[in-house]
Structure 1
Amino acid sequence: MSKEAKEAFDRFIGAFLDNPLQNINERLKRGRTVLHYAAQLSDAGVIRLLIEEGANINARDDNGETALHLAAFSGKVENVKALLEGGAEVNAISNNRAVPLHLACLARRIKTIEVLINSGGNIDAIDKFGCSPLSYAKIYPKVTSHLEKKGVNMRDVPPMYGKANEAVKEIMERRGTKVVSLDEIEEILLSEKTSQKG
């Protein structure tokens, strides 16, 4: 996020909190509260302020996700810590049966993964795709290696590449992020080679 965008969001938060008629737990777009947006766009100080002002730390959006889910996916480790310190449910389950640790592993957020595991994040939680958080982590060699160095047994995690890839695609598309599969990359490269020959 750019400095200007963060400053604009912080101004919005200030104006929001200054309005005595504003409900801090009002559901906005996609059922998200201001805390949901702050979790992915702002910093830990704003998170703490919103909690002090009465924000429902475990409020769920239309996907059943809490602010902790969004902070975990965004890799906002300090926000994750602030939410956990404020009483966020570390194993809150979304409509897809994903806990925040699923999203941190899916997005390869190593520091966030560590914080969630150390705070009691359930490494054995199974989402609607039949994947555990470690199933997603195992897709990424760097994450797997890091977790093994921290003492997490990754050897016993069954590879679920097909199911995990399907899950990654659906989740990323739902979040507005384009995911390109290896087959699509190969197809693009082949079409470029063909067009260069012609």
Structure 2
Amino acid sequence: MDRLVKAEPNEVELHFQKNQKCSSSFKLTNLMHTMSVAVSLTTTNPTIFSINKPLSVIPPLSSASYIIHLSNPNINQPPLSNPADVITVRTSMLPTGKANTDDLRRLFNKPGPHVFRDAVITVALVGPVVAEFLISNRSSINETRSFFTKAISACEKSHLSNLLKPAIESGESDYVAALIAAGGNANFKDSNGKSFIPFAIRAGKLDILKLLVASGCRINDSVDFVLHEAANLNRIDIVKFLLEFFRDELDVNSVNTEMRTAIHVAAMEGHVSVIEFYVSIGGNPNAVDSQRLTPLHCAASRGHLKAVEFLLEISDVKYARDINGKTAFEVAEESGHTRLFDLLRYGDTLLRAARVDDVHTMKRCLGEGVEVNRKDQNGWTPLHWASFKGRIKSVKVLLEHGAEVDTVDDAGYTPLHCAAEAGHLQVALLLISHGASHKSLKTFQHASPLQLGSFHKHVSLHHYKKSESIIA
């Protein structure tokens, strides 16, 4: 005979609740027909688990029930260990059939090998509190898969569904799969109607997202804002997956509670590739939110240079003002994002200085690296403005700093056209002397006959000298 007693069951489950008493019962049966058996019960961690009858006697062919308790009920997290805690059952035949506690203690403390094999009963902590603890503390307990499977085996379906959210947020797809397999509702919605999809996106786990969709999870984009969530994480792969399954339910220009589109969100985070993708599928880069902030305002407020550059190329809201009357430049200025100043305003300062012949400001702007050929909303460069206004000093400064003399505006006009239209002879001649083409220039509409004659004379003389130098 290799054992004296039979343990039922071979694993006891304790439904753990925070700061509450926790206990479970098990039974031992004496397999001897004519002899009593002495029993000693010990736990791996006696400071955590205790047994009501650690020493006892079981009559022949009789059974005895025992209770294991959590020693300290005032704890708020399950005392898990790996390997799992166990109850060790030691047995010895008792010919006399009777023995007091001291006799039993002496019997089991006697040195030497034990004759009969000891039974081992595993202690399993189960329930939603245990499962949630495992989800949030996975890194602190090795090989928790078996612990988790055991913990959720004692959960009701409502508990399983409630556990899905923290499991998704943890990014552990095996936990999510186990909960759904055990009966968790993947299409569960919270009190606001929000699905699990946004939480999977925030976790950045495409595999969990696919698992949820395959398990019947559906979105309500009026509260889920899935395109916004994906934009925030710079995840075009997630966007493409969402569009594949929910295209009819998604609008790239839908707004969240702040009236912001997904492009606003991407701009706030500086995710240029996402902005470009959303625009390619119909996203509006000129949209305004509840504060009349454009995506350009959002990018400027965070100092995202590349996003600002891209938005300036595809939108026409450089001069748009928010609810407080601020442009994107002023928003960037408030936040101290100086590297955006040239893009958003310094070019404007140069344009203004060219218009009023403020040579000092022009030289300062150009010295700080402002693009001399930057255009305004009509395609006019500083040279267009200086030529149109007849600011000959400004024209000279701009030409000295590499201004393109034949650059054209949105209507195809060059700075020479502008000078001619406004009747500024000296400016026109200066431009021609720097290589401006006058082939399409017919006349000065506002010039006097004397000015016209002088202009044509100087043009002819300029080209004669140019030809003469070529021949030489």
The answer to whether TM tops 0.5 is yes
**In the alignment, does 2:292 pair up with 1:97?**
yes
Work out the CA distance in 2 between the residues paired with 1:115 and 1:41: 19
Residue among 57, 62, 67 paired with 2:262: 67
Aligned to 2:317: 122
Shift of 1:46: 2.1
Contact 1:68 1:90 survives alignment (8 Å): yes
Encode CA deviations 1:101-152: one digit per residue, 9 max, x unaligned: 100001111111111111124111110111011222344211224x27xx97
Give the match's secondary structure for 1:153: helix
Encode CA deviations 1:143-187: one digit per residue, 9 max, x unaligned: 224x27xx9724279xxxxxxxxxxxxxxxxxxxxxxxxxxxxxx
In the alignment, residue 337 of structure 2 is paired with which amino acid?
Y
Shift of 1:58: 0.8
Query: Which protein has the larger Cα radius of gyration, Structure 1 or Structure 2?
Result: 2
Work out the CA distance in 1 between the residues paired with 2:282 and 2:291: 22
Aligned to 1:47: 239
- Taking only aligned residues, the RMSD between alpha carbons, in angstroms, comes to 2.9
Residue among 23, 34, 41 paired with 2:219: 23
Between stretches 96-105 and 51-60, larger displacement belongs to: 51-60
More strand by share: 2
Give the match's secondary structure for 1:136: helix
Residue among 340, 349, 357 paired with 1:143: 340
Contact 2:296 2:318 survives alignment (8 Å): yes
List runs of 5+ in structure 1 lacking aligned partners: 158-198
Contact 2:303 2:340 survives alignment (8 Å): yes
- Aligned positions, number: 148
Shift of 1:24: 5.6
Contact 2:201 2:229 survives alignment (8 Å): no
In the alignment, residue 142 of structure 1 is paired with which amino acid?
R
> RCO greater where, 1 or 2, for CA within 8 Å and sep 6 or more?
1
Give the match's secondary structure for 1:27: helix
Contact 1:137 1:144 survives alignment (8 Å): yes
Contact 2:288 2:294 survives alignment (8 Å): yes
Contact 2:234 2:266 survives alignment (8 Å): no
Work out the CA distance in 1 between the residues paired with 2:234 and 2:220: 16
Work out the CA distance in 2 between the residues paired with 1:156 and 1:137: 18
Work out the CA distance in 1 between the residues paired with 2:297 and 2:215: 36
**In the alignment, does 2:205 pair up with 1:13?**
no
Contact 2:204 2:233 survives alignment (8 Å): yes
Work out the CA distance in 2 between the residues paired with 1:7 and 1:27: 15
Contact 2:305 2:339 survives alignment (8 Å): no
Work out the CA distance in 1 between the residues paired with 2:243 and 2:201: 19
Distance 1:154 1:72, change over 3 A: same
